[in-house]
Amino acid sequence: MTQADQNGKIVRLKPEPRIIPRDQHNISRSVISDNALKVLYRLKNAEYKAYLVGGGVRDILLGREPKDFDVVTNAKPEQIRELFRNCRLIGRRFRLAHVRFGDDVIEVSTFRAPHHVSDSKGEGHIEDGRIIRDNVYGDIDDDVWRRDFTINALFYNIEDFSIIDYVDGVKDLEAGQLRLIGDPAQRYIEDPVRMLRAVRFASKLGLRIHPGTEEPISEYAPLLKNIPPARLFEEISKLFMAGTALQTFESLRHFDLFKYLFPQTDYLLDTNEDNYPHTFIMHALKNTDQRLNEGSSVTPGFLLAAMLWEPMRVVADEHIAHGLPEMEAVQLAADTVISRQILTTAMPRRFTQMARDIWSLQVRLKRTGKRSFRVLMHPKFRAAYDFLLLRAQAGESVANLVDYWTQEQLNEPLAGKNKIKSGYYKPRPRRRPRSRKRNNKPDS
């Protein structure tokens, strides 16, 4: 049973959940993946408790198609691995089991006990309020209070197909609001990433953030500086790759969270007198949303190139002013800007390299003429061309380049990977290697 205090905080009185029977909700096994059902039933048949939990339950209740399904159980990770040969245990801070069915992964976690509880192995460890290690196990009555938002703390019971709701999550879904469980300040101190998750869920699901959940964000936002760069990159991917990147960006700026993800870009957005950086980013994010909603692929490398375009140009202009050629200036600026960025968000090299390629190709796209075909055949040409289109949409004077490279693509139909039909580009004939003269002198 729960009650909200005057600040809207969810306070635990006693563990008496609301049980919503099958005939009073819209979750059916027909909308749950076969692989998730296999995991649930195998755990149940092995006499373990098993529940669908989190986003899968939430999305079905909202009438959305779930992207993944998470399972929670009282079985320990090692016991889960014994049941599933296709299981892999991952994580140190938070031990999980991944049950893999081809490309489909069902994440299975074990009920967690309260944060302050520790065991003889020191698996429940908190420093300065932050959760450092979190592998002390409990039951569903403990686990629910460990979850972040009420809408993510709904359990679907495979035993009788009911929904178990301890925290009025269903009411919050019906009211269209996002609310943290427990004291928001304490929850943000435990894990500052919850502030980013609040923005992401609100933008993705079209919810408003409850005033009690929203109010402490500005005070505790600086705690994001202590989050490992690799984890922040994971959050960036989730924030901007969900089809609501533009709205997410505006919310991050509103709550002053964006600067902890892209500090160089945020600084220029605040100090640049013209509106170009903001306009360019908005066009890039709108394009990202459109592609994702159409089912097209989007790579974080392109997003990175867009987010850091203006910081890179500022540094490159400084190098050019000191006499460096444009290409060299861009390459040197790319090194500087990306080196600074990865101190905040550690991005895989394949994405940072893609950003470098896109930026370098912006210089090469200015050079029209006989070498056009070589630019067209660059593996990242299409991404660089799309980037050029964004620059034009944002107001840069590059329309003539857009027209030229659009026409070049029409003029160069490719037959095979590298073969062209047009005649103006003729590869140089291969030279035969010179044959070495044999030394016919006898050995002395």
Query: pLDDT digits over 75-102, tens only?
Result: 999 999 999 999 999 987 678 999 999 9
Query: pLDDT digits over 404-429, tens only?
Result: 999 888 886 652 333 333 333 333 44
How far is the C-alpha of 217 from the C-alpha of 194, rounded, in Å?
10
Distance between terminal CA atoms of the chain? 102
Reported as a pLDDT band with limits 50, 70 and 90, residue 8 is low
Structure tokens at 52: 């669908």
Active site residues: 68, 70, 148
How far is the C-alpha of 268 from the C-alpha of 312, rounded, in Å?
11
* Mean local confidence (pLDDT), 1-24: 68
Task: Provide φ and ψ at 68, rounded to 5°.
Answer: -150, 165
Q: Which domains are seen in the chain, by residue range? A: 2-191 (3.30.460.10), 260-411 (1.10.3090.10)
pLDDT of residue 7: 57
**Proportion of the chain above pLDDT 70, given as a percent:** 84
Of 275 and 333, the structure prediction assigns the larger pLDDT to: 333
Contact of 373 with 395, CB cutoff 8 Å? no
CA 105 distance to own-chain centroid = 17
Model confidence pTM above 0.85 = no
Closest CA to 207 of 237, 178, 165: 178
Contact of 246 with 289, CB cutoff 8 Å? yes
* Mean local confidence (pLDDT), 19-37: 95
CA 255 distance to own-chain centroid = 19
How far is the C-alpha of 212 from the C-alpha of 313, rounded, in Å?
41
Query: pLDDT digits over 172-222, tens only?
Result: 999 999 999 999 999 999 999 999 999 999 999 999 999 999 999 999 999
Amino acid 260 reads Y
Give the list of residues 6+ apart from residue 374 with CB closer than 8 angstroms, or none. Answer: none
Structure tokens at 39: 């995991």
Reported as a pLDDT band with limits 50, 70 and 90, residue 368 is confident
